[in-house]
Amino acid sequence: MRLLVVEDEKKAGEYLKKGLEESGFTVDIATNGVDGLHNALEEDYALIVLDIMLPGMDGWEVLKRLRAKRDTPVLFLTAMDELEERVRGLELGADDYLVKPFAFVELLARIRTLLRRGPPRDVEHMHIGDLEIDAIRRRVRRAGQRIDLTPREFSLLQLLARRRGEVLSRSQIASYVWDMNFDSDTNVVEVAIRRLRAKIDDGHEVKLIHTVRGMGYVLDLEHEGE
């Protein structure tokens, strides 16, 4: 899938392109608003990542002119964490926003959500290797062996399984599982993962829950760097 990143800061553009390409997207970069709008109107992109502070034409203007012709999903990046800013962006027709500085996994998750268009389906039965998750009866088996999980542990496992292969940041996990929507300086998530891992992975050859240092956690059969 082709994405357009409109970002004037060279370093930021470079790492966004690299990161997104490594996650399976084709990425074009525009370094100012005028080029960004031109590309967005001429080419067919699945999604546009739009910075607000841009030389030539600011992100608001780009968004306004783009919306007059096309409805490509737009995720805007803002350095200003003011409510009016965010409301303004959404009113102009943006689909989501992120406040700088953001975690890359967060950006990736938002992009995937927008591209999926709608929340992840609730799969009744999930199989990952020899791990079975029955979402209806809330039961988990590994290699045929029943594993007892607390309700929270189950929610956590379900989240990781639904987003299989996707790195989830600590704040994402805290928000989905416990509905705690702020950055906490506690290592609650770390501990919860550790306890879940003890129940799921201990005594098994193949590990399913992986830590991506500094970024978050991922559930998959195997993960690079582990």
Partner 1 sequence: MRLSLTARLSITFVVITVACFSVVGLLLFKAVSRRVYIHDQTNIMLDARHLRRLAQELQSPADVVAHQDRLIALMLGDQANGLRVIDRGGRVLIDRVPMGYELPTQPVVPADQRIVPASIRSWKDRDGNEIRGVATAATLQNGESVTIAVARSLADRTALLARYRSDVSLSLLTGLLIAVLLSYLLVRRALRPLRCMAESASAITAQRLSKRMPLKDAPAELLALATSLNEMLARLEQGFARVWQFTVDLAHDLRTPIGNLRGANEVALNRQRSLAEYEALLGSNIEECDRVSRTIESVLFLARAESPQFALQRIALDTAQELHRIADYFEGLSSEAGVSISVAASAKVYADRDLFRRAVNNLLSNALRYTPRGETIHLQAVECEQGIEVSVDNPGPGIDPEHLDKLFDRFYRVDRSRSDSASSTGLGLSIVKSIMELHGGSVSVRSTAQLTSFTLHFPQSPST
Rama region for 52: left / alpha / beta (φ>0; ψ in -120 to 50; rest): alpha
CA atoms of 118 and 46, how far apart (whole Å): 15
User: Residue for token digits 């999980």?
Assistant: 149
Instruction: CB nearer to partner 1: give 74 or 159.
Output: 159
Q: How far is the CB of 172 from partner 1 (least distance, A)?
A: 13
CA atoms of 136 and 96, how far apart (whole Å): 31
Q: How far is the CB of 58 from partner 1 (least distance, A)?
A: 22
Q: How far is the CB of 113 from partner 1 (least distance, A)?
A: 21
Q: Is 210 helix (H, G, I), strand (E, B) or coil?
A: strand
Q: Is 48 helix (H, G, I), strand (E, B) or coil?
A: strand
Instruction: CB nearer to partner 1: give 145 or 186.
Output: 186
Instruction: CB nearer to partner 1: give 26 or 150.
Output: 150
Site residues for partner 1 per CB under 8 A: 81-83, 101, 103, 150, 152, 174, 178-188, 191-192, 194-195, 213-215, 225
Instruction: CB nearer to partner 1: give 16 or 48.
Output: 16
Q: How far is the CB of 207 from partner 1 (least distance, A)?
A: 17
Cα dihedral across residues 176, 180, 186, 192: positive or negative: negative
